[in-house]
A and B are shown apart, each in its own frame.
Chain A
């Protein structure tokens, strides 16, 4: 197999639109939100928006390059790619697409963008997205008729087995939520800036036992974007670039639709253990080199499983790891220093990458002193999920 070429792309600009709760920005629409985010990212980079020549999207984003190019005044469209489905897990795939496009010379400035208006609720059951009398998708026939439809359920059923196998407790899940809220207090852009207690977590309403309301992110409207180019071009642009050291989207075998036939104990993981091994190998770095971890946290068990999958503790010890305060910003491995999906905003992971860039520029609201390497890891989802390693310029 050909050698992966590390450090072949940089993030030179980050931006976001206004954001708000589910449906709040429906009048503006996804195109407007995406444009706001891309303009902000271009301003950050010192780049004329008309010089964007590639688009990388994920999660079946509604905003199409056909609309974007007209409204942005794109001079030349050289690349456009979308990662299929996968809920929020497709972000590393979109970054991979942008990375390949600029590293190969296919395009010069590729924007990775996610825009969401949740008029059709992602967080509601798949069944609820289907009108009366409409058939559900064929692949949903093996889950929805049994009531296995909420995104929370995908995590809850893994969390339950994790508890049975390893003794993980709901106190451990609570600590993940507490950490997210605590970090968001210092983030002026965060939607949920009040701290919560373990008691409040336990008392919040049951969503899918063992998960409660405060184990879940809140659906949001908004958009965010980041601009990817080559290190050579990055040196000429305004913002301090951040290197994309490596990307990986390898996935567990048999991790597909339905997602309950994983081999061994991969069921109680995010599905990204092969991606972790490949990412570290490609980067020539390991878990000990990571200064800040940005884990997809649509639901709290995702963080505990990610700690294990990405090698920060042995399999099964994610619970005790968080219990000792290790993921707090003063701890061994600061996690989601912006507040994550749970407390900042739920834009399916892309704002985690923005925080990674801020950390490596030294601009985070919860800056980790001397941060050199940041890891983004996607959550439970069908392939391709995986990770992105960012490195200071």
Chain B
């Protein structure tokens, strides 16, 4: 069952995921997304009438009210909009408190209002490993039965260096490049 698969996932090297939580309900409005995640893609609902992406899945378009939609693959990159750290009792003991994170990621490459998704960043373990504005990329967690969860990992070291760890003048060039890369992705989301 999905819930068992989820519980097993962290031990199976899936990164920092909360233990023992139930899996998602599979329904017509979301099945394509869970199946795409099992194949390493992020598919979102997209309105066939106006082209707006949306998440979480629902039956009507908030922009044009159409009930017609299709699945659309998006790049799977995005920016941490906010995050929290929660003690994971199932993975903690007297000597060690394990925290899991929950992030809201604003996705790149979507049409319409910004599209955000709640997820986990699998390679972030400690308070300080995440900040608002951080770049992340898709890292799906398979749950078995042909479905998976769209999760994320921190984007490559170069992009990561841009907001935080930049030396004063030295890396102006690099900042420029990071800005262009980020800007390009953001422009794609304006649509």
Contacts and interface: CB of A to CB of B under 8 A. Distances in A.
B136 to A, nearest CB: 14
Contacts of B151: 146
Nearest to B143: A145
Nearest to B127: A209
A316 to B, nearest CB: 14
Nearest to B131: A164
Contact-size category for A: 35 or more
Contacts of B62: 253-254
Interface stretch (B114-122, B169-177, B178-186): B114-122
B87 interface: yes
A53 to B, nearest CB: 38
Given A150-B86, A161-B81, A261-B55, A142 B24 contact: yes
Interface string B1-20: 10000100000000001100
B25 A137 contact: yes
A249 to B, nearest CB: 20
Contact of B82 (A130, A141, A149, A267): A267
B57 to A, nearest CB: 7
A53 B184 CA distance: 62
B188 to A, nearest CB: 18
B116 A260 contact: yes
Interface in A84-138: 127, 130, 133, 135-138
Contact of B56 (A139, A150, A206, A207): A139
Interface stretch (A151-159, A292-300, A324-332): A151-159
Contact of B87 (A133, A149, A161, A206): A206
B84 A145 contact: no
Interface in A256-273: 257-258, 260-261, 263, 267
A68 interface: no
Contacts of B149: 145-146
A142 B118 contact: yes
A188 B141 CA distance: 52
A284 to B, nearest CB: 33
Contacts of B131: 164
A260 B104 contact: yes
Contacts of B27: 138, 141
A157 B87 contact: no
B118 A260 contact: yes
15 contacts: A133-B1, A138-B25, A145-B22, A153-B86, A153-B102, A156-B84, A160-B82, A160-B84, A160-B132, A161-B82, A206-B99, A260-B104, A260-B118, A261-B114, A267-B104
